[in-house]
Amino acid sequence: MSGSSRVFCVDTSALIDGLERYYPEVTFPALWKRVAQLVEDGRLIISEEVWIEARAKDEAVKEWCGARGKDPMVVATDSKVAQQVQGILKEFPRLVSGMKGRNRADPFVIAVAKLRGAVVVTGEGSDGTDARPKIPLVCQRRGIECVRFLDIIRLEGWAF
């Protein structure tokens, strides 16, 4: 069924896009069965900070994360992740500044993806700048592939 062996490191915004904005689980159950298989296979991961952020926000995302539990999907913030985050924030200090609690997980998504050789999946647009960096800009500068939720479907070769 799968078209690749990529690992996807998903941001909260991508989960919101998938579960609430574009592909609700009740309307697209076959899609979410495939996504669940990615989780089970260890090919869809989220940082611990995304787990915390997602469970504190939107109901569909909160329920989806809660139904799966932390394992095997959640990558804990260990010293290697923390070190990567420090490097990202040193280079891009405005990635999380002035966001009033929003986007706090962004550097962790990028750090986990870098450490795991994963593709970042985000709902953010590619309009980031040095003055207001966004995940796609940081990924581009750090040599990390970055896609949207729909691209998981394309990259996996899924058809419904």
Residue 155 has pLDDT above 80, yes or no: yes
Separation between Cα atoms, residue 37 and residue 102, nearest integer Å: 29
- pLDDT at position 97, please? 75
Domain-embedded: residue 2: no
**CA 155 to mean position of chain CA atoms:** 15
Domain-embedded: residue 91: yes
157: alpha, beta or left, given left = phi > 0 and alpha = psi -120 to 50?
left
Strands (DSSP E) along 100-149, which ranges? Answer: 119-121, 146-147
Separation between Cα atoms, residue 119 and residue 112, nearest integer Å: 10
> For residue range 36-91, what is the model confidence (pLDDT) as tens digits?
999 999 999 999 999 998 888 778 898 888 887 777 899 999 999 999 999 999 99
**Domain harbouring 108, CATH code:** 3.40.50.1010
- pLDDT at position 1, please? 46
Separation between Cα atoms, residue 103 and residue 95, nearest integer Å: 8
Domain-embedded: residue 92: yes
Pairing assessment for the beta strands 44-47 and 8-10 based on DSSP bridges? parallel
Instruction: Residue 84: give the domain boundaries.
Output: 8-155
The residue written with tokens 């990202």 in the block is 88
- pLDDT at position 96, please? 87
Going by the DSSP 8-state scheme, the letter that residue 18 receives in this structure is I
**pTM metric for this prediction:** 0.93
* Number of structural domains found in the chain: 1
